[in-house]
Amino acid sequence: MRGFNRMVIGYYKMKWAAQSGCVRKWRSLNERRKQIEAHESINARPTGVFLHQFSASGVLAAMVTNELTIIKPDDFHHHFRDGDALKSVVPLVASRFRRAIAMPNLKPPVTTTTQAVAYRERILAALPAGAIFTPLMTLYLTDRTTADEIYAARASGIVFAVKLYPAGATTNSDSGVTDMQAIRPALKAMAEVGIPLLVHSEVTDADVDVFHREAAFIVRILQPLVDENPDLKVVMEHITTSEGVDFVMACGSNVAATITPQHLMYNRNAIFQGGLQPHVYCLPVLKHERHRQALLGAIASGSSKFFLGTDSAPHPQTAKESTSGCAGCFSAFAGLELYAEVFESIGALDKFEAFTSKNGAAFYGLADNTEKLTLQRKAWRVPMTYPLGQDTVVVPLRAGQEMAWSVKQG
Ligand SMILES: [Zn+2]
């Protein structure tokens, strides 16, 4: 009897709702709820877990590659830092990479070729005995960079790119560009002598949502810049969004992009998982899962427009674990191994060597390296900290967690 009553009441409720037009409203609300749930379940997928599925499965592990021998890779985005930190960072980079772009955001920034020559010497002095490694130096673009400085950079033979930081965009970027008109002569000279412009692609406008700053930069700055300088080589550094991928793909062969390991491994949930996680905080900040999927799609596509740039950026543990903690992830200790896990997780190891060792060199007009490097499937645990100079330590990405791949020594 109770069931019958519920049916009757339900019938009249429906009838009333239909008469008052509520059913349509309820249906559209219900559709919206389903959309939100679908959206959130994608975003809520635990980050990093899928990366271990292959190595955790004995059956699959038996079917997959256990050694990868590739042309020794290059890192096209690295923050070596300076002073006694170099002794900690340089050996880690040189054991995995034959060449690396040395970013110029020191204090004070490397704005002249003279400064770049001196910084290069300091990096080389920190190399272990017998190591073969070439730092590719860069200049820090300011409103005052002249065309003559660009010609001097090209003539030096040691400067390979110029970096554009919008003023205030990230660590030590206070001297960055404030006026796009002011850099026109420098950009023209760079296009003329074939020096690439490396771009930190985020607007710094406090009114723009932090997750939308890359997309806004493309529309406001990058597209006009590329249109005005059709012969200028441009690298969109550390892209993080589907808009970034689409922009690079839509441009001609003079526009390419680097992608970091953290933006391939994590979505923005990682920043908040189990409490605030300062060691995955970097700029541009990690994005929504759909953007991470777009980055994975980019590397899986095998397009030569995308290549390795770790953006490894060590900060002392105390500077990260503090009020106003610094932006930057430290990945130099496994700058290659992390990418290998990502490529394997999406079944794209056949695209790995081009991404790590060929695409970037070709874009910069450099020959492939002649040396080889072998990665082997050999698990190891990431230490909780690495030394950073004599008195400080840095907390690495994946601290305390297991890595699937190792660089084979000798
Ligand atoms: Zn960087």
C-alpha 174 to ligand 1 mean position (Å): 14
Provide mean pLDDT across the span 66-88: 97
C-alpha 164 to ligand 1 mean position (Å): 11
N-to-C CA span, the chain:
83
Residue 168's pLDDT band (cuts 50, 70, 90): confident
C-alpha 166 to ligand 1 mean position (Å): 13
The neighbourhood of ligand 1, an ion, using CB within 5 A, equals 311
C-alpha 81 to ligand 1 mean position (Å): 11
Computed on alpha carbons and rounded to an integer, the radius of gyration of the chain in Å comes to 24
Half-sphere CA count of 347, side-chain side, radius 13 A = 2
Instruction: Confirm whether 311 is a catalytic residue.
Output: yes
Alpha carbons 399 and 377: distance in angstroms, whole number: 19
pLDDT per position as a tens digit, 349-362 = 999 999 999 999 99
Task: Map residue 257 onto helix, strand or coil.
Answer: strand
Q: What is the pLDDT of residue 369?
A: 98
Q: Where are the domains of the chain?
A: 2-44, 52-407
**CA 221 from chain center: how many Å?**
20
User: Is the confidence at residue 161, as pLDDT, over 60?
Assistant: yes
**CA 190 from chain center: how many Å?**
24
Hey, what are 271's tokens? Answer: 């920043």
**Of these residues, 174, 179, 227, 311, which one is catalytic?**
311
User: Is the confidence at residue 365, as pLDDT, over 70?
Assistant: yes
User: Is the confidence at residue 39, as pLDDT, over 60?
Assistant: no
C-alpha 78 to ligand 1 mean position (Å): 7
**CA 336 from chain center: how many Å?**
13
C-alpha 313 to ligand 1 mean position (Å): 7
Closest CA to 311 of 370, 265, 250: 265
Q: What is the mean pLDDT of the chain?
A: 89
Hey, what are 96's tokens? Answer: 């995995």
Q: What is the pLDDT of residue 15?
A: 47
Half-sphere CA count of 225, side-chain side, radius 13 A = 29
C-alpha 239 to ligand 1 mean position (Å): 11
User: Is the confidence at residue 53, as pLDDT, over 90?
Assistant: no
Q: Indicate yes or no: pTM above 0.75.
A: yes
Residue 51's pLDDT band (cuts 50, 70, 90): very low
Strands 159-164 and 67-71: unpaired
Q: What is the pLDDT of residue 170?
A: 72
Residue 175's pLDDT band (cuts 50, 70, 90): confident
pLDDT per position as a tens digit, 231-271 = 999 999 999 999 999 999 999 999 999 999 999 999 999 99
Residue 64's pLDDT band (cuts 50, 70, 90): low
The residue among 52 and 312 whose pLDDT is bigger is 312
CATH 3.40.50.920, domain 52-407, yes or no = no
pLDDT per position as a tens digit, 185-228 = 999 999 999 999 999 999 999 999 999 999 999 999 999 999 99
Q: What is the pLDDT of residue 409?
A: 84
Q: What is the residue type of 335?
A: G
C-alpha 66 to ligand 1 mean position (Å): 32
Alpha carbons 44 and 38: distance in angstroms, whole number: 10
User: Is the confidence at residue 1, as pLDDT, over 80?
Assistant: no
The residue among 279 and 38 whose pLDDT is bigger is 279
The residue among 129 and 175 whose pLDDT is bigger is 129
User: Is the confidence at residue 13, as pLDDT, over 80?
Assistant: no
